[in-house]
Amino acid sequence: MAKSWIQRLFQKRDYTHIGCIDFGTAYSKVSIVASEMSEDLMAQDIHGLAIGRDVSTNPFLLPSLLYVDEDTVRFGAHAETAARRGERRGRAPFMSPKQYLSTHALDELDDRLPVEIDPTEGYSARKLITLYLAFLLRRAEDAAREIKLDWPPRFRIARPAWDRERADWGETTLRTLVRHAFILVDRFGDDILSKEGLAHDAIHDAFDAIPDTSDFPDEEIFEISETGTATVPEATAVAAASLRPGERRVVVVADIGGGTSDFAAFVTGRPGHNVVAEIEGSACVLRQAGDFLDMQLRRLLVNKAGLLPDDPAARGAVAMIRARQRSLKETLFAEGRVVAEAGDQFVEMTLDEFLADEHVQAFAERLRDTFKQSVDLAVDFARYLSQGSHTQVRVDILPTGGGHDLPMVREMIRKIGHDWRFSTIAPELLASNNDDFNAVSRQLAVSVGGAVLELPRQVGAVAA
């Protein structure tokens, strides 16, 4: 007799591997890594899953969006196509779902969404995030089986370096979202991959049937740390994916994503000691990143077009810019100028104009100030380690994430403001013979590192 859809949540997990969900703002990633010590990991033990194949420009990146229309919810490439069709009607996809977890008030997750996102007025951010995670897990299952990996492994979930209150809330919330997403995968099966999407009645019936999962055996579903958590801060995950012990050094991770900019400082052990430790107090987060710049570009283009965003006559033109703001920003940074369609006119913006804007400059300053908090502790620790030595212990800067090459990130690293020995490095565990993987290795650092068996421990900061 076949298992029912709810019993399948209890299916046996693969203990020989660990998975990590990097629930990204712009793109989501899933990786699976063999449960081996870091020094024993080989390239063939590290698996980025091709969850974005036939959906994205890179097979390892799955766009973090879905689209609600009058009859269905669509996912992946079908959601992007539907969103483009809806631009002129003032419609918008549900984008950057992780940003709701990072920037919205903790009690807003169950509020109704704006009508331009949900014309049915039947969905909360919590429901759409759960649906998106179900789609992501279904894509990950296919990708894992394609490369002959057992499914599912036990999972960790990457998260920003939230403050204590949001981290505690996020731990509980993310576990629940993933449990419910697994249940929805079993409920919908292949229908969640359908070009036509899922009908609203079927979705609401499925959510109504989800039982209370608070007593489910999380140790069977998640890789639980010594501190009892299934989540791992993104900068900590980057360090796990990027640092091989060897010479003693200090490393500052700058993980610049779509919704948050995460920083932390780490120290490697003496030769022969396989230890990577996080310097206590060095983890900090700016709850602004690439998406904030998208918003500023949209503001500048709309203003240059002479439009008022809240005027009904401008709704279609503003929606057109909003739907393309991420690609417009990428073009602006790559080519130094961009031309955007805004209704019946075209608007040009140069990179110099954009970088001169007071709000963009203020963001760059906040980014530098947050980065400096980690760098200051890193230099203090490097100075302490260098006592009695003829050479300074080097401080390495490791930029990762989709925004690692933003102009203000390059400038922030170039002007650190300390008289010390610095270098800029790339992730060290992520070498591959796969060109698609290498092209986004800095974006995969979180999902790979979050799946590494031994995560960095913590070491106390140097006393003043």
pLDDT at 199 over 90: yes
CB 18 within 8 A of CB 25: no
Rounded Cα–Cα distance for residues 175 and 156 (Å): 9
pLDDT, residue 70, reads 93
- β-pairing, 422-424 with 261-268? unpaired
pLDDT (mean) for 157-180: 92
pLDDT band at residue 98 using 50, 70 and 90 as cut-offs: confident
Q: Name the more confident of 159 and 244.
A: 159
**How far is the C-alpha of 455 from the C-alpha of 452, rounded, in Å?**
7
Give dist(CA 193, CA 33) in Å, integer.
26
The Cα 62–Cα 52 span in angstroms is 4
Q: What is the pLDDT of residue 456?
A: 86
Look at residue 3 in the predicted model and tell me its pLDDT.
43
pLDDT of residue 321: 85
Residue 103 and residue 253: Cα distance in Å, rounded?
22
Count of beta carbons in the 10 Å neighbourhood of residue 66: 27
Rounded Cα–Cα distance for residues 247 and 266 (Å): 13
Cα-Cα-Cα-Cα dihedral sign, residues 115, 193, 155, 374: negative
CB atoms under 10 Å from CB of 316, counted, come to 17
Per-residue pLDDT reduced to its tens digit, 405-416: 999 999 999 999
Question: Cα(157)–Cα(422) distance, rounded to whole angstroms?
Answer: 31
Q: Which residues lie below 8 Å from residue 299, measured CB to CB, with a gap of 6+?
A: 359
